Amino acid sequence: MLERVPKTKFGMAVQTTEGQSFLAGDALEPFSIQSISKVYTLTLALKSEGEALWKRVGREPSGTAFNSLVQLEYENGTPRNPFINAGAIVIADIVRSNASDCRNALLEFVRARSDNPSVDHDPEVAQSERRTGYRNVALANFIKSFGNLDNYVDEVLDFYFYQCSLSMSCLDLARSFSFLANGGQCPWTGERVLSVSQAKRINAVMLTCGTYDAVGDFAFRVGMPGKSGVGGGIVALIPGRLSVAVWSPGLNPKGNSLAGTLALELFTTKTGVSIF
């Protein structure tokens, strides 16, 4: 499915915590957010489960590919962090255990955070992943064999494939990360989504684990906490100032958007913003 999207697409959106938006290129065109959804489910899991979730998933960079089973075996079924696939599957299990209708809970959350009630998932993408996602089925069954999933494997995977198939634009994404750039509080509704400390911590996990096994390079070149997806999207932020989303479907060998990473590098170089 993803490979059908033209590689020439490029969009970018900046959302300041003071309410301004800046758009460029295909910033309003929805695309498959894929792994970026892991930030939303981690937020939901933190809200319902609190710090106890760190007993079931770590918060260290993996040093290996996003879909590796190696580390999981050496570390007895505890994924290294919530942003590799294995960790996100455990987080999906937690969200599922805590919501009577987890798909709907996620959708409502994302619509509220992006201030866009028309955000939805793409059933064709979900279907395609379910058909071909053998590696993720392997991961989920492997985790289950270690006793680190409470729900049925199929139910967890159903929700996991659903979250990956959410379709959003750069503007939606930049807005939806505003609460993380704003100390846990939604800038326009004033709603407290997470505590100040929790928001900082998600930002820290994004910086050390958010861009697969290229986190060092991303921190080095871009200098912002961020989360990428294989659909070509990346969202990043400067605490207290802004969130920024880019989209370009061509990926580099590490699975991050090639043009997107370059655009963010240029953005921080030109504006001088950086957390470092």
Residues with active-site annotation? 35, 38, 160, 212, 230
Q: Rg of the chain's alpha carbons, rounded to an integer?
A: 17
The residue length of the chain stands at 276
Cβ proximity to a copy of itself: between 48 and 67 the closer is: 67
Sequence-distant (6+) residues with CB within 8 A of 266 are none
Cβ proximity to a copy of itself: between 239 and 250 the closer is: 239
In the chain, DSSP assigns E strands to 11-16, 21-25, 31-32, 120-121, 166-168, 226-228, 233-238, 242-247
Q: Which residues pair with 226 in a beta bridge?
A: 236
Angle at 22 between CA 18 and CA 26, to 5 degrees: 145
CB of 120 to a copy of itself, least distance (A): 28
**The sheet that has 21-25: what strands, in order across it?**
21-25, 11-16, 242-247, 233-238, 226-228
CB of 200 to a copy of itself, least distance (A): 4
Cβ proximity to a copy of itself: between 30 and 133 the closer is: 133
Residue type (1 letter), 188 = W
CB of 17 to a copy of itself, least distance (A): 14
CB of 89 to a copy of itself, least distance (A): 12
Measured between alpha carbons, how far is 16 from 52 in angstroms, rounded to an integer?
A: 32
Placement of tokens 């961020």 in the chain: 226
Cβ proximity to a copy of itself: between 54 and 188 the closer is: 54
Interacting residues with a copy of itself (CB under 8 A)? 58-64, 68-71, 73-74, 80-81, 134-135, 137-142, 144-145, 153, 197, 199-201, 203-205, 207-209, 213-217, 219-220, 223, 225, 239, 269, 274-276
